[in-house]
């Protein structure tokens, strides 16, 4: 997923006309999940959290040109993340998300045996 300052050029998930219009407001931010189910929310004090994993995970975070602590302050506690690991933004990320002003994130299971159990069940 990603935290974006604009969804004007986002074509990876469905974006309503209302969300497109809101993305022109200065300071707007949107949280987007591409999978497993596409989801888009406007970040704000009354926003519903993004649907997260059903089990405890680690979170990989790549900070692009968007300065925001939303991932750390809101997403990490909502998803009950056990650990956060920083990395660099991939070269294709700005094109994929439609903006370079982003913070990209991905939840993952650090324990391969847990992953094996989930796959085999």
CATH number of the domain bearing residue 102: 3.30.1180
Residue 48: inside a domain, yes or no? no
Residue 14: inside a domain, yes or no? yes
The total of structural domains in the chain comes to 1
Question: Which of left, alpha, beta for 98 (phi over 0: left; psi -120 to 50: alpha)?
Answer: left
Residue pLDDT, tens place only, 56-107: 899 999 999 998 999 999 999 999 999 999 999 999 999 999 999 999 999 9
Burial label, 20 (beta-carbon count in 10 A; 0-12, 13-18, 19+) = middle
Contacts of 102 (CB under 8 A, 6+ apart): 2, 3, 4, 5, 64, 65, 66, 89, 93, 94
pLDDT (0 to 100) of residue 81: 97
Residue 23: inside a domain, yes or no? yes
Within 10 Å of residue 120's Cβ, how many Cβ atoms?
Answer: 6
In this predicted structure, the answer to whether residue 23 has a pLDDT above a threshold of 80 is no
In this predicted structure, the answer to whether residue 111 has a pLDDT above a threshold of 90 is no
In this prediction the pTM is 0.86
Residue 113: inside a domain, yes or no? yes
Structural domain boundaries enclosing 83: 2-43+54-120
Confidence of residue 45 (pLDDT cuts 50, 70, 90): confident
């Amino acid at each position: 997923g990603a935290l974006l300052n604009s969804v004007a050029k986002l074509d990876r998930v469905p974006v309503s006309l209302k969300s497109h219009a809101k993305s022109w407001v200065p300071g707007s931010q949107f949280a987007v999940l591409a999978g497993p189910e596409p989801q888009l929310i406007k970040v704000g004090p009354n926003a519903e959290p993004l649907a997260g994993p059903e089990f405890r995970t680690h979170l990989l975070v790549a900070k692009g040109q968007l300065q925001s602590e939303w991932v750390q302050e809101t997403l990490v506690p909502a998803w009950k993340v056990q650990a956060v690991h920083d990395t660099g933004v991939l070269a294709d990320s700005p094109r994929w998300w439609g903006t370079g002003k982003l913070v990209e994130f991905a939840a993952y299971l650090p324990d391969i045996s847990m992953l094996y159990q989930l796959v085999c069940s």
